[in-house]
Amino acid sequence: MQLTSPELAGWRERLSALAATSAGDDGAHDASHLERVWRSAQALLVHHPEADALVVMAACYLHDLVNLPKDDPARAQASTRAAALARTELARLGFPGERLDGVAHAIEAHSFSAGIAPRTIEARIVQDADRLDALGAVGLARMFYIAGRMGRPLAHPTDPLAQARRPDDGAWTLDHIELKLARLPGMMQLEAGRALAEARLARLLAFRAEFAAEWLGDAAA
């Protein structure tokens, strides 16, 4: 399927509207996030023309239909709940029935916390595309935004790089780069996704070093 096909264009508007019905006040998982994930997915689809672009697009727009806070005890169940809701709502809208399983699986497998392995090329693309939005400049802004909503401090007062302590991103926001974000390039499903992730992570790590220098009062920073 061409990425500019009438079928994709027609469904994109309906998918965006459906996603808007469950939008909350989480600025890190808003309509702009969904659009960025779909743009990243399109970049990956170029390398994988065998993938069903409509399945990918539907999963990109609907993967956060159920969005639980990072510290919610049921966080790991959010993607499976979102998949079930997406299946119901898409069927109601007349989405092709033979593609519902593919969309549902891509949604349930996108989540880091759910730990569900992607079995299809569409699910691999959606997972990579969503994780790319956790890296780079936007990913950095999202990290601090989410931590701020949970009331977490920016960094450890005397050891921001965790050189003499165990990293703990439940206590110190900056530790999240080392504990999770730095792992994402190695967890990417696709070669193209890995290359994009590595470039974005390099910018994150440069920021982390500069942040620590300023945080500790390095006169040269």
Task: Tell which of 96, 123, 150 closes a domain.
Answer: 123
> Hey, how many other C-beta atoms are within 10 angstroms of the C-beta on 39?
13
CATH number at residue 37: 1.10.3210.50
Predicted pLDDT of residue 23: 72
Domain range for 160 is 137-215
DSSP 50: T
With respect to residue 221, please indicate whether it lies within any of the assigned structural domains.
no
Predicted pLDDT of residue 114: 76
Task: Tell which of 78, 95, 123 closes a domain.
Answer: 123
Same domain (yes/no): 36, 107: yes
Same domain (yes/no): 118, 78: yes
With respect to residue 206, please indicate whether it lies within any of the assigned structural domains.
yes
With respect to residue 211, please indicate whether it lies within any of the assigned structural domains.
yes
Number of domain units in the chain = 2
With respect to residue 14, please indicate whether it lies within any of the assigned structural domains.
yes
Same domain (yes/no): 115, 24: yes
DSSP annotation string for 159-172: -TT-SSS---TTT-
Same domain (yes/no): 112, 179: no
Predicted pLDDT of residue 2: 58
Same domain (yes/no): 169, 207: yes
Same domain (yes/no): 165, 100: no
Going residue by residue through the chain (221 aa), what tens digit of pLDDT does each one get?
557 678 888 899 999 999 988 777 777 788 899 999 999 999 999 999 999 999 999 999 999 998 877 777 777 788 999 999 999 999 999 999 999 999 999 999 998 887 889 999 999 999 999 999 999 999 999 999 999 999 999 999 999 999 999 999 999 999 999 999 999 999 999 999 999 999 999 999 999 999 999 999 975 55
Predicted pLDDT of residue 76: 78
Same domain (yes/no): 55, 155: no
CA dihedral of 110, 112, 118, 124, whole degrees rounded to 10: 60
* Closest residue by Cα to residue 110 from 7, 8, 31, 33: 33
Same domain (yes/no): 82, 142: no
Predicted pLDDT of residue 29: 83
With respect to residue 132, please indicate whether it lies within any of the assigned structural domains.
no
With respect to residue 161, please indicate whether it lies within any of the assigned structural domains.
yes
DSSP 118: P
